[in-house]
């Protein structure tokens, strides 16, 4: 039968003596790495000022994390049933299988089975990538918001496992940026400035900012890495993060963008309203 496990039962047997859930945000921790956000062009502290734990607030070191990964292959904590549940991918009511299992994502990278998970909070960025067949694990921890830990881990895997990589840029002919998930490239007719601004969803009480940088549109939130928005049709975009799989923008009679509806594997047309001086006052 399954039961609850205490952190002491999980971390201590693995020798992870510097790993714990940070449940008091006022506690002073020696040698703590504070988080920073540099995406505005200047580096500022990105304060993690809450004490939630479970989905977040796990403090660790790269040396401790290295002790965690071998437990996937040779479990000294837990048992076969627990690992079976952890790596069983979920299913939606319509039978669609998800990549997410019970606390980890199960998938493939360049044809090799993988177990992975990313972490994003304040300016912290982390990613673990494990190849069970090769028994190779990669951990990337960062305290800078612009750090793409997923890309760094995958590039490291390319080297360690001698995986095929893209040809060098100078050997390639100029071409349009590749679209994720096989979407078709679309040349937008509306200026990027139409879409920039802050968008709010009262249903989840969350707002996102869309900005333009070097001719590209990016969606930002303090809890995720910046998401590039790639045009797929008129007033329609696909984000480089799965949450924003399909974004359709709406306009008023004057042709001004008033919001967008986002759809993905979990939601259908969740509405976000573009904030203006008028509707911000009434929010």
- Over range 245-271, report the average pLDDT: 92
Instruction: Let me know: does 34 contact 25? Beta carbons within 8 Å.
Output: no
- pTM of the complete model: 0.63
Q: Chain-wide mean pLDDT for the chain? A: 84
- Over range 127-134, report the average pLDDT: 94
- For residue 239, give the nearest of 272, 262, 209 by alpha carbon: 262
Instruction: Let me know: does 246 contact 262? Beta carbons within 8 Å.
Output: yes
* All residues at 6 or more sequence positions from 80 whose CB lies less than 8 Å from its CB, including other chains: none
pLDDT at 166: 62
CA atoms within 13 A on the CB side of 103: 9
Chain position carrying tokens 């919001």: 259
- Over range 211-238, report the average pLDDT: 89
Strand pairing class (20-21; 58-59)? antiparallel
**Tens-digit pLDDT profile for residues 97-113:** 888 888 899 999 999 99
**Tens-digit pLDDT profile for residues 63-120:** 999 998 888 888 888 888 888 888 999 888 888 888 888 889 999 999 999 999 988 8
pLDDT over 60 at 179, yes or no: no
């Amino acid at each position: 039968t399954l039961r609850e496990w205490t952190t002491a039962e999980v971390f201590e047997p693995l020798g992870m003596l510097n790993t714990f859930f940070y449940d008091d945000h006022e506690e002073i921790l020696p040698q703590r790495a504070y988080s920073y956000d540099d995406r505005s062009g200047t580096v500022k502290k990105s304060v993690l000022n809450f004490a939630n734990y479970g989905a977040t607030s796990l403090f660790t070191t790269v040396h401790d994390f290295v002790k965690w990964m071998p437990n996937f292959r040779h479990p000294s904590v837990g048992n076969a049933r627990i690992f079976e549940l952890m790596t069983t991918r979920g299913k939606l009511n319509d039978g669609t299988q998800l990549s997410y299992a019970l606390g980890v994502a199960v998938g493939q990278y360049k044809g090799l089975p993988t177990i992975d998970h990313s972490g994003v909070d304040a300016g912290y960025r982390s990613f673990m990538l494990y190849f069970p067949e090769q028994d190779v694990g990669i951990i990337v921890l960062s305290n800078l918001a612009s750090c793409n830990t997923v890309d760094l881990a995958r590039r490291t895997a390319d080297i360690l496992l001698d995986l095929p990589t893209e040809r060098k840029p100078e050997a390639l002919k100029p071409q349009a940026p590749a679209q994720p998930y096989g979407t078709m490239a679309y040349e937008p007719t509306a200026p990027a400035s139409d879409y920039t601004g802050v968008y709010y969803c009262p249903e989840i009480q969350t707002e996102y900012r869309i900005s333009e940088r070097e001719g590209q549109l990016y969606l930002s939130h303090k809890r995720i890495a910046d998401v590039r928005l790639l045009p797929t049709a008129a007033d329609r975009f696909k984000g480089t993060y799965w949450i924003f799989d399909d974004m359709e923008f709406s306009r008023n009679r004057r042709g001004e963008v008033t919001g967008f509806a986002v759809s993905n594997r979990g939601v259908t047309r969740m509405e976000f309203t573009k904030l203006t001086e008028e509707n911000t006052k009434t929010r």
